[in-house]
Amino acid sequence: MIIVNFKTYREATGSNAVRLAEICEQVAKKTGAGITVAAQAADVRSVADFVSIPVFAQHIDAVDYGAHTGATLAEALHEAGASGSLINHSEQRLELRQVDACVKKLKSLGMTSVACAANDEEGMNIARFGPDYIAVEPPELIGGAVSVSTAKPELISNSVKKIRCNVLVGAGIKNGNDVAIAKKLGARGILVASGIVKAASPERALTELAEAMK
């Protein structure tokens, strides 16, 4: 699995989100890679209506229907076309009890849960809630010039050994070599953002990652 997190970059907001999602879909069809996009809540419906690849939300809140002004409701995202969501991203941290509630909520809706963890120890704590995937991303490397594959390969191998769940890795991943290392160490996929969204050619950059996943 390759998850392209659109974050709130200008290049992946509004009509740009739809265009980027179309590129991701084209690469998925061309390479046969399992590519998912994680769009902003406001863009989920327009993106999901336009492409056939999975569309995830970037965050949900641990709330039910009711008086929760400003909260991100999983049911609303599901109705909008989201088939899953990231949880506990380093830019939108949750307490462990909230992570548990969000995983349960997504399961009840038949949606895929990708819970983020800063390291293998946090990943082990989150794994007991039973998410579909755990994405291990060292916060200090996110958006940086050095990838987790290069800076902390031992974190990938330790996470794969310790976490009894499908492990994805992210932070700084930008090229096929980064992906090849992660795959060799046992990761089931990657979570990537700026390396694709802000690339001079998102199609070329994503194709390189997708080819390396084979």
Catalytic residue among 78, 89, 122, 208: 89
Query: Across-strand partners of 133?
Result: 114, 166
CA dist 113 and 180 (Å) reads 24
- CB-based contacts of 140, cutoff 8 Å, min separation 6: none
Nearest to 179 by CA among 35, 25, 57: 35
145 half-sphere exposure, CB direction, 13 A CA radius: 0
Catalytic residue among 137, 140, 154, 203: 137
Please say if 68 is a catalytic residue: no
Please say if 59 is a catalytic residue: no
Q: How far is CA 48 from the centre of its chain?
A: 16
Q: How far is CA 201 from the centre of its chain?
A: 20
204 in Cβ contact with 21 (< 8 Å) = no
- CB-based contacts of 137, cutoff 8 Å, min separation 6: 89, 90, 116, 117, 118, 148, 169, 170, 171, 191
Task: Please report which residue ranges of the chain form alpha helices under DSSP H.
Answer: 15-31, 44-50, 74-80, 96-108, 120-127, 148-151, 153-162, 176-184, 194-197, 202-213
**Active-site annotation, residues:** 89, 137
